[in-house]
Amino acid sequence: MTPSQSPEFVAGIALTDPDGNPKTLGEFGADPLVVILVRYFGCLPCQEFVRDLDGERDRFPTGTRVIAVGGSADHQARWLRDTKGVEMPLLLDPDQEVRAVAGVGDLSARQMSSLGGASNYVKSLVRGFRPQVPTHDATKAPGIVVFDSEFNVAWVHHGEMLGDYPPVDDLIDTVRSMTERD
């Protein structure tokens, strides 16, 4: 385990909420903690997944906490919270430390331009999401990381194209199976 993967380091990762208030990942500790890694908060499929998952948070096992973390776009996170009604914590990690711990990096040029990713964008457009200004984080891969109560990485989903998140039901089942093993 490298120092940047130690539970102490992970819990101490500095984040901010959309209003600029400082937080740490440790403030959101749970058993387990599900972190949705959005490319940036203006990404259409990311917005849609976060909104859909937000509506299903009560289906996760007791003790689970779900948050979304992006590298940029506090104004887009506020829009998602205030206009789309997302209640889960939406947090900014400009140094991309949570993403680094999870090992979820950038999409390749081929992945960025895949037909499946374009299809995901069109589906989000049809469902009422509108493009927002891309940020410097537009090349980031979508992902999910699940931390146990000690901030060890328990499970990771590495997106392979734009909007590549597992179905909400599959994510809930994955987390449920993890908690049943304990």
Summarised one tens digit per residue, pLDDT across range 56-114 is 999 999 999 999 999 988 999 999 999 999 999 999 999 999 999 999 999 888 987 88
Global model pTM greater than 0.85: yes
Quote the pLDDT of residue 72: 87
Query: What SS3 state is found at 14?
Result: strand
SS3 of the chain: helix, strand, coil, percent, to 5: 40, 20, 45
Query: What SS3 state is found at 112?
Result: helix
**Per-residue pLDDT tens digits for 19-35:** 999 999 999 999 999 99
Helix (H) or strand (E) holding 46: helix 44-54
Q: Where do runs of H (alpha helix) occur along the chain?
A: 7-11, 44-54, 74-82, 97-102, 109-112, 115-126, 168-181
Give the mean pLDDT of 116-139. Answer: 75
The residue ranking higher by pLDDT, 112 or 164, is: 164
